[in-house]
Structures are given as structure tokens and as C-alpha cells.
Amino acid sequence: MEALVAIAIGVLTGSGVYLMLRARTFPVLLGLTLLSYAVNLFLFVSGRLVVASAPLTDQGLQAYPDPIPQALVLTAIVIGFGMTALLVVLALRAISDTGGDHVDGGER
């Protein structure tokens, strides 16, 4: 399972970076979103993957998943969502102000 998750994170990061290197704001935005998915998955598994166990803890249970990464990932999701929303608004504003969706402003 570790290999599967690692490949998923790698594919998400790779596609995210590729899209972020485009010159239009919309692909860049999608790239950032994919990258933030990758980050969230990565943070989540930094507490290790545990199969067939209680989600947090249970009485008498010796091995339970680490709750801290779950809290971290929640915070990261919220912040990432807010930032993405801001960037969407900014990109729309840039289209109306500069007349194009090129990341350097205007139509190239």
C-alpha cells in the first residue's frame, strides 16, 4: 500500500509541476490545486499507514493511527482552499484589468 500511495503522490506532484509551468493562469491554478492534493496526501501519510485499526483510538488498543497528521492535514486543506479561491478571483480580475490570461499580464 505504501508504494501505491507514494506513486499517487508522485503522479499528482509531477502533473501539478508540469501544469504550473504553463503560461496561462488557468493551468497554473489547476497545477497548484494538484500540488496541494499531493501535499495533503503526503502530510496525511507522514503519520504512517495503519491497516484495519480504529480511526483514532480505542480502549486497550496498542497500535492506533497518529492523530496529529490528521489535524495538520485539515488545517492545510482549509488554508489551501482559501488561497486557491483568492487566486481564482485574482486571475479573473487580471483578465478584466489586463485583457488577457497570460501570467505576465495581457495577451502574449
Partner 1 sequence: MTHLVILPVLLPLIAGSLLLLAAPLGAAACRAIGLAATLVLLPLALLLLDRVADGAYLVYALGDWAPPFGIVLVADRLAAVMLLLTALVALASLVYAGSGDDTRGPQYHALFQFQLLGINGAFLTGDLFNLFVFFEVLLIASYALLLHGLGARRVGAAIHVVVLNLVGSALFLFAVGTLYGVTGTLNFADLARIVPLLGPDVAPLARSGALLLLGVFALKAAVLPLGFWLPRAYAAATGATAALFAVLTKVGVYAILRVYPLVFGPGAGEVASVATAWVLPAALVTLAFGALGVLAARTLRTSAGWMVVYSVGTLLVAVGLFSEAGYAAAVYYTAHSTLASAALFLVSDLVARQRVVGGDRFEVVDAMPHGVVLGTLFFVTAVTIAGLPPLSGFVGKLLVLQAAGTAPGAVVIWSVLLGAALLVIVAVARAGSALFWRTATEASAGPALDGRSVGAIVGLLACVVGLVAWGGAATSYAWSTARQLADPSGYVAAVLGADASARERRRSLR
Q: Rounded to the nearest whole angstrom, what is the least distance from the CB of residue 52 to partner 1 in the complex? A: 15
- Residue carrying C-alpha cell 487566486: 87
Distance CA 5, CA 2 (A): 5
C-alpha cell at 48: 504512517
Distance CA 39, CA 8 (A): 11
Residue list 2-41, contact with partner 1 (CB under 8 A): 20, 25, 28, 32, 35-36, 38-40
> Which parts of this chain interact with partner 1 (CB under 8 A)?
20, 25, 28, 32, 35-36, 38-40, 42-43, 45-48, 50, 62-63, 66, 68-69, 72, 75-76, 79-80, 82-84, 86-87, 90-91, 93-94, 97-98, 103-105
